Every structure is written in structure tokens, then in C-alpha cells.
Amino acid sequence: MSKKLYCIAEFAPKAGREQELFELLMSLEPLTLREDGCVRYRVTRQVKHQQAPTLSKFSIVFNEEWASIEAFEEHCKQPYIAEFFKKYVETPETALTDDCNVRVFSDQI
């Protein structure tokens, strides 16, 4: 077992804003990958596949892996992350998302 923390951050883009949101989220990757404790930080898009026929409204997903919960908590305090959530998720006038779902996981029992 490890002390690692895994995060899935799912975004439901506003109609017609998916590409803009995806590109914005991709711009966060290099900044985050330089943070202490960041093991993996990858933005992905939902694709249609015969083995996964049900499409979710959460079509853009970050898959994150952190060395520890402390590293993840420091990441959440970064100004660029706080600014992203405030401007593009929480503020109706500038939001690119209709919904967002962030979940964290551990591999410990």
C-alpha cells in the first residue's frame, strides 16, 4: 500500500464550449506536472466505443495521481487552480461548465 492519492475531476462543458474548455484544461498540465508530489496529471476526453456505449455529460476528465494527500492539498491551493475553478466553474457569467465533479481515492484499506 502507498500513501498516494488519486483524483478524478470530471467536467460537463457548456454547449459549444467543449473545445475551449479542453484547451484551457490542457494548459494547466505543464504547470501542475512541475508541482512537488505530482505523479500524473492528464486531461482526457470521452470517446465513443462499442464496449462503453453510454456517454456521460462529463465528457472531459482529469486523471490525477499524487504522492500524498499533502501534495494534493498544496495543488488545490495553487492560485492558477483556484482561479480556474472560480472563473470557469463557479461564476455563471464566465463558466465554461454546466457541472463539475471532483472525487479523490486511496489505494489503502
Domain coordinates in residue numbering, the chain = 5-106
**Tell me, which fold does domain 5-106 have in CATH?**
Alpha-Beta Plaits (3.30.70)
Q: Return the CA Rg of the chain.
A: 14
Pick the closest to residue 3 from 69, 65, 64, 63 (CA basis). Answer: 69
Q: What is the pTM of this model?
A: 0.88
Q: Give the DSSP letter string of 77-102.
A: H-HHHHHHHIIIII-TTT--EEEEEE
Question: How far, in Å, CA of 84 to CA of 31, rounded?
Answer: 13
| Alpha carbon distances (Å) from 6 to 16, 69, 85 | 30, 9, 19
Q: Tens-of-pLDDT digits for all 109 residues of the chain?
A: 579 999 999 999 999 999 999 999 999 999 999 999 999 999 999 888 888 778 889 999 999 999 999 999 999 999 999 999 999 999 999 999 999 999 999 988 6
